[in-house]
Amino acid sequence: MAHPFRRARNLPRAKGKKPRPKTTGMNKGEAQYAAVLDEQLKHGVIAGWWYELLSIRLADNTHYRPDFVVLLDDGHIELHEVKPRKKGKDGKPDSFWAEEDAWLKAKLVAEHAPFPLFIVWPKRDGGWERLPV
């Protein structure tokens, strides 16, 4: 007899939305940027930072969660979104890579949120690029 809480092998699966996987924390790029923010905090450049602190509702069932909320030493707040580097071709400078829906959400947040939003990505030679949205 099968365990009552185990799923039988040949039963059909429920249709519809698949459950969203639980996040396991920061990815590699976010962890590297968090280390940069820690250094800035240590040297008094910023007053604090938080990872995925806010969720901004854009529409029904549509939210945007910036990677970092950064508190500047003058009390202003900035939102930072970490993206991977996109390699430049034919002598073009490096840029960031983002899915189209993520870029559209970022632009929508930049238009309506009371805090400035910046896209940050690693430079090829070290350091970080920063682009206001």
Helical segments of the chain, H only: 28-42, 100-112
So what's the pLDDT on residue 18? 54
Query: Mind listing the pLDDT tens digit for each residue in 25-78?
Result: 899 999 999 999 999 999 999 999 999 998 888 888 888 899 999 999 999 999
Q: What percent of the chain has pLDDT over 90?
A: 39
So what's the pLDDT on residue 62? 82
User: How far is residue 29 from each of residues 76, 79, 90, measured CA to CA in Å?
Assistant: 24, 16, 25
- Domain layout of the chain by residue ranges: 28-98+117-132
